[in-house]
Amino acid sequence: SQLAEENPWALSVHEGESVTVNCSYKTSITALQWYRQKSGEGPAQLILIRSNEREKRNGRLRATLDTSSQSSSLSITATRCEDTAVYFCAPQTGFASALTFGSGTKVIVLP
């Protein structure tokens, strides 16, 4: 079974709207990372939130973490067409441990 799962599987919004992707994971973590993968590219990290943090912001991005429910969310405000991508959460379980990815949420931002 997967260590992490994003939901929904896919969604679309119009430019300027906000979007939220959710993540549930199944292990104790030292940190959780959010990555974005655009078509034809490798994943790029968006936010790293440590297990002792509840919220982290990076520009238009906001990640939350609830270790008691083993869940996280990533919100993007004022979306742009270039935010179209697959978004992954990746729980990290220890020092230099392998980062595992879920199936991702495909976000499509329409003009």
For another protein, give the closer residue by CB, 44 or 78.
Answer: 44
Indicate the SS3 state at residue 99.
Answer: coil
10 binds another protein (CB under 8 A): no
Least Cβ distance, residue 34 to another protein (angstroms) = 11
Q: How far apart, in whole angstroms, are the C-alpha atoms of residue 25 and residue 61? A: 20
Residue that the structure tokens 């994003």 belong to? 6
Q: Does 91 bind another protein (CB under 8 A)?
A: no
**Residue ranges binding another protein (CB under 8 A):** 30-31, 33, 37, 40-45, 48, 50, 88, 92-104
